[in-house]
């Protein structure tokens, strides 16, 4: 059994609820413990994961959030930089599943967030568990 932290950028409550539900279910079904930490936005997710990793309380992390394209360049910055930050931590050996949706509209987000449809929260949790398994495998 491992302990995972879901770090969610809480902006779209109804979408986040579905993403967290999917992630929690996937982790619970695998027998893992789960905590949830909420941050203001997707740009804060990598920093929060980095800070939490210093505590040695968690074995893996699931990043959750929704970034919907708007009329400005801000979408590209938020989507790209949050993904870059998560990837940098992953490349440093952390087990992180990226469930931050980057979509054109709310309809796309609903399909991806819903655990009964694409279940991207659950998929992100499964990715984090797979990376944790690899960590364990290569540490031996």
Catalytic residue among 3, 14, 74, 84: 74
**Residues of each annotated binding site:** 11, 42-44, 66-68, 71-72, 98, 112
Distance CA 132, CA 6 (A): 14
How high is the pLDDT of residue 110?
A: 97
Distance CA 126, CA 132 (A): 10
**Residues of each annotated binding site for 5-amino-6-(D-ribitylamino)uracil:** 11, 42-44, 66-68, 98
Position 29 pLDDT exceeds 90: yes
Which band of pLDDT confidence, cut at 50, 70 and 90, is reported for residue 74? confident
Cα–Cα separations (whole angstroms), residue 129 to 15, 67, 81, 111, 117? 22, 24, 23, 23, 21
Indicate if 14 belongs to the active site. no
pTM, to two decimals: 0.96
Domains of the chain: 3-139 (3.40.50.960)
Distance CA 121, CA 109 (A): 11
Model confidence over 109-126: pLDDT tens digits?
Answer: 999 999 999 999 999 999
E strands, 30-123, where?
33-39, 60-68, 96-103
Position 73 pLDDT exceeds 90: no
Position 131 pLDDT exceeds 80: yes
Distance CA 89, CA 24 (A): 22
């Amino acid at each position: 059994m491992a302990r995972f932290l879901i770090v969610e950028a809480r902006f779209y409550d109804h979408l986040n609820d579905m993403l967290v539900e999917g992630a929690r279910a996937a982790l619970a079904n695998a027998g893992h413990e789960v905590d949830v930490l909420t941050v203001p936005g997707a740009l804060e997710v990598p920093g929060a994961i980095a800070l939490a990793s210093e505590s040695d309380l968690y074995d893996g992390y699931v990043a959750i959030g929704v970034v919907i394209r708007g009329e400005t360049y801000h979408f590209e910055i938020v989507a790209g930089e949050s993904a870059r930050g998560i990837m940098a931590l992953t490349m440093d050996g952390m087990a992180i599943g990226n469930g931050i949706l980057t979509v054109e509209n709310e309809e796309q987000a609903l399909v991806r967030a819903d655990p009964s449809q694409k279940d991207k929260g659950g998929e992100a949790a499964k990715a984090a568990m797979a990376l944790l398994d690899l960590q364990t495998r290569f540490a031996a």
